[in-house]
Amino acid sequence: MSTSLEDGEILVFVKIKHWPQGHGWSFIEFARRDGDFAIVSAAVLVTTKGDGTISRVSVALGGVGPYPLRVGKAEDLLLGRYPTNTLIGQAAACCAELQLFDDPNIPAWYRKQLAHELTFKAIKEAIERSA
């Protein structure tokens, strides 16, 4: 893992935008054993309007590279639309287009499969929590 901080720099504050009431979240991770670093993790925040359409969404993956990765293409696909299983599946499939870690113990194809499954579940769970 790495950061964007240079030698001698320290982080002094973090600004986080406030999410409105009615938002839902999900964080799902897969590790070999409980307490291990995640092989892959998926985090989703979503806000839905009264009609069920998605008005705000963030999708991120961990364990797939040197730092957490936003999945902007999935976010763009979901934003402003009503979340059907087909649409959620298409958003999760965006993970297959990412360049992920590849190593002898956990190859990239396996991480992509995990990323797809965890992202699908996390999007669904976040939407359910937003209702």
For 82-130, write each residue's pLDDT tens digit: 999 999 999 999 988 888 888 888 898 999 999 999 999 999 999 999 9
Task: Supply 67's token pair.
Answer: 């730092």
- Closest of 107, 68, 63, 113 to residue 92, by C-alpha: 113
pLDDT at 20 over 80: no
29-55: per-residue pLDDT in tens?
Answer: 999 888 888 899 999 999 999 999 999
| pLDDT at 98 (0 to 100) | 86
The residues near 26 (Cβ < 8 Å, ≥ 6 apart) are 42, 43, 44, 121, 122, 123, 124, 125, 126, 129
- CATH architecture for the domain at 23-130: 2-Layer Sandwich (3.30)
pLDDT bracket for residue 19 (50, 70, 90): confident
Q: Give the bridge partners for 28, in sequence order.
A: 42
- pTM of structure: 0.85
Measured at the CA of 38, the angle between CA 112 and CA 86, to 5 degrees, comes to 40
In this structure, what are the phi and psi dihedrals at residue 107, rounded to the nearest 5 degrees?
Answer: -70, 160
